[in-house]
Structure 1
Amino acid sequence: MDDAVLEVENLTRRFGPVVANDQVSLRVRAGDVVGLLGHNGAGKTTLVSQIVGLLRPDAGSIRVAGADAVADPAGARRRVALQAQAQAPLDGLTPRAAIEIAGRLRGMSRADARAAARALADELDIGEWLDRRATPGGGLSGGVRRLTAFAMAAVAPVPLVVLDEPTNDVDAARRRRLWDAVRRLGDAGAGVLLVTHNVVEAERVVDELVVLDRGRVVAAGSPGRLRGTGVGDGPGDGTGDGGLRLELSLSPGGADPSAPPAQAPVPSPAACGPVGGCC
């Protein structure tokens, strides 16, 4: 595919007798956000490590924006920005400095890197911590460190952005901002590979989902297709177009919505029929 910024074909990686990736194939096109889902140990981070050249596959191929990541891992790394699952080592730096350094390493001018850092801080709502220095075990919360690491990956335009569990430790309000920023990266033309467990939140920003199970791709497609929309036997079966899903977000310590009411509700006059009788 001419617009693919990531092409993985029949990728296999073993650790002794354990097959971490078993003939994995996937594509990410420019402008698309692809979610990579799977249980712990499904092989997601192993796959990411090979894409960015930290691990060499036993078989298969990886191309990042035309570069062969197996034969030329350094060339592939120049075309991809990674937010790793582990926290970025920020101790001794402020978020502003860390983001600007990441931009400068990507070839941005000092002025452009400074402006991009400020814009990302505003977008993610971390401005009040922008000049607070991270210290070992303190200075910045885990959520601010995670958002700073995302900004470091997003500060400069690159063909491919890989985000490995970017919302870990991030509060609900700023998670929404982060998801909006992920979607913006795709809309701006980058291909985004998003590794996440947060399916419900990520669903609104991804164009395609790829599901790994024990190292193999077991499903791939749009969120709607993987939910079964339009594929079931008909209305009311929970999988067809007539399926309905209700999601509730409850406050800790609040009332149990499944508990029976203390007394039967009394219908209002507006709910009664034209002759005054209620159904």
Structure 2
Amino acid sequence: MPPAIETAGLTKTYGSVRVLDALDLRVETGTVFALLGPNGAGKTTTVRVLTTLTAPDAGQARVAGHDVVAERRAVRRAISLTGQYAAVDETLTGAENLRLTARLSGLSRGAAARRADELLERFRLTEARDRQAKTYSGGMRRRLDLAAGLVRDPGTTRIVFLDEPTTGLDPRSRNELWDVVRELAGHGTTVFLTTQYLEEADRLAHRIAVLGAGRTLAEGTPEELKNRYAGHRLDLVARDRDAYLRLSPHATVHTPATLTLGVPTDGTAAHVRALLDALDPDHADIERFALHSATLDDVFLHLTSTTKEPSHV
């Protein structure tokens, strides 16, 4: 199948700051794609360009097979966008919010009511349907916001953009929203996600791209990125200062304040045993050890620690 999203040389400049620098992306249909990066890396600008809210200065972008500049209306008919803050009318009930959005999207009164009922059930909001949205929890508002973006014929919303959707949510609400994202992808919807929470990307995304200064620093599955840029590490705590100095030449990570050293490993039991025997054959230098499994935090820090970011998002 053709990709859901594809960019080539996408460039955007604000004043003297180049926020997107010849950005290339490819997002396969029916997958969850996460875009990571520090503040100012260009995540929100990428979303704004792909959703036709901002025009690029150079390069090309196609969403659902349509050019984001020449075919803006076709792109907008195929997408849904949920920003960083829930855009619901707090004085209306959940059902009223959905019916209103459906009517504004062109559905008849009867079709709007039926679609609202379907979405309230799908997003587990039926019991709160007649309550004003201002009484909803943060997670409930987020689910209502997502539902509002899907009020049109479910076959027409092919791509959902979520720009940091769980910012400010408590862990329970965040997990509830993760379930919604999994459900969307399970029904064949492509989800383009930006997030500050690396665990979120690790749990949800089929593929991840890490941005830095408007460029793609790395792309791959979560496991590919962890294996490529972080790997496993055996953390050793030396028995004393002399033992620390003896072990130090074999380590890649050094923390003298706690006499801790990090040694690369493939994470298998056989390799860990072999390392311990080789580094401390007399069992005299290592007081304790722990296996540090690679995380996206390690990948993120490795890739962005030396990248200078622009000041404009």
Give TM-score, length-normalised by structure 2. Answer: 0.68
Distance in 2, Cα, partners of 1:205 & 1:51: 21
Match of 2:143 among 138, 143, 147: 147
1:36 corresponds to: 35
1:160 corresponds to: 159
1:268 corresponds to: none
Question: Structure 1 residues 245 and 231, CA, compared in 2 at 3 Å: closer, same or farther?
Answer: closer
Deviations 1:82-138 (A, max 9, x none): 00123314233222222333345556565665455445445544444332224xxx5
The share of aligned pairs that are identical, in percent, is: 38
The answer as to whether partners of 2:34 and 2:208 remain within 8 angstroms in 1 is: yes
Question: Structure 1 residues 12 and 102, CA, compared in 2 at 3 Å: closer, same or farther?
Answer: same
Distance in 2, Cα, partners of 1:201 & 1:233: 21
The answer as to whether partners of 1:125 and 1:174 remain within 8 angstroms in 2 is: no
1:194 corresponds to: 193
| SS state at 2:161 partner | strand
* One-letter identity of the residue aligned with 1:58: D
Distance in 1, Cα, partners of 2:264 & 2:160: 35
**1:175-186 residue pairs with structure 2 within 5 A?**
175-186=174-185
Question: Structure 1 residues 26 and 230, CA, compared in 2 at 3 Å: closer, same or farther?
Answer: closer
The answer as to whether partners of 2:210 and 2:218 remain within 8 angstroms in 1 is: yes
Distance in 2, Cα, partners of 1:154 & 1:203: 25
Distance in 1, Cα, partners of 2:172 & 2:119: 15
Give me the CA root mean square deviation. Answer: 2.9
1:75 corresponds to: 74
Question: Structure 1 residues 207 and 155, CA, compared in 2 at 3 Å: closer, same or farther?
Answer: farther
Distance in 2, Cα, partners of 1:19 & 1:223: 28
**Match status 1:85 vs 2:84:** yes
1:48 corresponds to: 47
Please report how far the alpha carbon of residue 32 of structure 1 lies from its aligned counterpart in structure 2 after TM superposition.
0.5
The answer as to whether partners of 2:92 and 2:132 remain within 8 angstroms in 1 is: yes
* One-letter identity of the residue aligned with 1:245: S
The answer as to whether partners of 2:201 and 2:208 remain within 8 angstroms in 1 is: no
Distance in 2, Cα, partners of 1:12 & 1:229: 27
Question: Structure 1 residues 100 and 203, CA, compared in 2 at 3 Å: closer, same or farther?
Answer: farther
Greater fraction helix? 2
2:285 corresponds to: none
Question: Structure 1 residues 238 and 126, CA, compared in 2 at 3 Å: closer, same or farther?
Answer: farther
**1:1-279 residue pairs with structure 2 within 5 A?**
2-106=1-105, 113-114=112-113, 116-122=115-121, 124-134=123-133, 138-156=134-152, 157=154, 158-228=157-227, 240=266, 242=268, 244-245=292-293
Give TM-score, length-normalised by structure 1. Answer: 0.75
Unmatched runs of 5 consecutive residues or more in structure 1: 248-279
Question: Structure 1 residues 153 and 238, CA, compared in 2 at 3 Å: closer, same or farther?
Answer: farther
User: Once structures 1 and 2 are overlaid, which stretch shifts more, 189-198 or 147-156?
Assistant: 147-156
Count of residue correspondences: 243
Distance in 2, Cα, partners of 1:199 & 1:40: 14
1:256 corresponds to: none
